Amino acid sequence: MTSHTTLDGKKALVTGGSRGIGAAAALRLAREGADVAVTYVHGKEAAEDVVRAVEALGRRAVALRADAGDAQEAAGAVGRAAEAFGGLDVLVNNAAVGLLRPVESLSLDDVDRLIAVNIRGMFLAAQAAAALMASGGRIITVGSCTTHHTPGPGSTLYAMSKSAVVGLTKALARELGGRGITANVVHPGPTDTDMNPVDGPFADAQAAMTSLGRFGTAEEVASAVAYLAGPDAVYVTGAELAVDGGYTA
C-alpha cells in the first residue's frame, strides 16, 4: 500500500464496480486507504478480481451481487456494505446502463429499464447512504458529458437519465449539507472502457470532439472521484466536475 493514504479508515461502496470506471474508482479509493465494497450483476469473476486487487493493497473488500434496477437490491446493497465494514463513509453511485438508439425506436421496456437503473437506482442508493452516513460522508455520482453536450442523435433517453442525477446531486447537497455530508457529480467524457472502447467504431469521432484529441482513461476519472472523497474536497458540494478532455468546453 502506498504511503499517500488520505482515506485511511474510510469505508466505501462503489456500485457497478466490477469493471470500467467503477473498478478504477474502487482501486483508487483502496490505494488512498479505504475499505471498498463493489456491486455487480453478471460480472462475478471480474468483481472478485477487484476484491483481490483491493485486498492486495492491504484493505478489506467485498463483492455484492445487486441489480441497481431492482429497488430492493439497489437500496439493500448499501446496507450490506455498511454491515460488512461496520459503517459507510463514501458512496460512489456508478452503476448505470447505456442505450443509444433513435428516439422513435425506443420501447417502453427501454425507457423503464434506464429509469430504473440510472435514476431510481441511484436515488435509492443515495437515500440509503444518507440514512447511514455521519458528518464527513461523501455521495459521488457518475454522470455523463451528455448532460451538457449531445453530439448527435440517439442519446435522448441516456442523456435524460444522466441529467436527472444532476438534480439529485444538487438537492442532496442542500439537504445533507447541514449534517456535514457532501454530494457531487463527476461527468466523464469519452472514456476507454468495455462499453466505449478507444478502438470502437465511433471512437475517432468522439476523440476529435475533445480539446485534447483523445479518449480519457478510467483511472483519470477515478482520480476525480478520489479527490471528491478525500479531505481536500471538504468544501465542495453540489458541484459538477467534468473529466472530459474539453468535450464540453
DSSP 116: I
**Predicted pLDDT at 2:** 40
Q: Which residues are catalytic?
A: 158
- Extract the runs of DSSP E, i.e. beta strands, from the chain: 11-14, 35-40, 61-65, 90-93, 138-142, 182-188, 191-192, 216-217, 240-243
Alpha helices (runs of H) in 86-121, residue ranges in sequence order: 108-114
- Are the C-beta atoms of residues 120 and 74 closer than 8 Å to each other? yes
**Predicted pLDDT at 69:** 95
Question: What is the dihedral sign for C-alpha 62, 41, 219, 93?
Answer: negative
Query: 40 phi and psi, to 5 degrees?
Result: -150, 165
Give per-residue pLDDT as tens, 178-205: 999 999 999 999 898 887 888 888 889 8
Beta bridge pairs of residue 141: 93, 185
Along the chain (249 residues), what's the average pLDDT of each consecutive run of 10 residues? Answer: 73 96 98 98 95 97 97 96 98 91 90 96 98 97 92 87 96 98 96 84 88 94 97 97 94
Query: 149 phi and psi, to 5 degrees?
Result: -155, 115
**Predicted pLDDT at 99:** 82
Give per-residue pLDDT as tens, 116-147: 999 999 999 999 999 999 999 999 999 999 89
Which domains, from first to last, does the chain contain? 11-243 (3.40.50.720)
**Predicted pLDDT at 1:** 37
Q: Find the distance separating the first CA and the last CA of the chain, reported in whole Å.
A: 37
Beta bridge pairs of residue 24: none
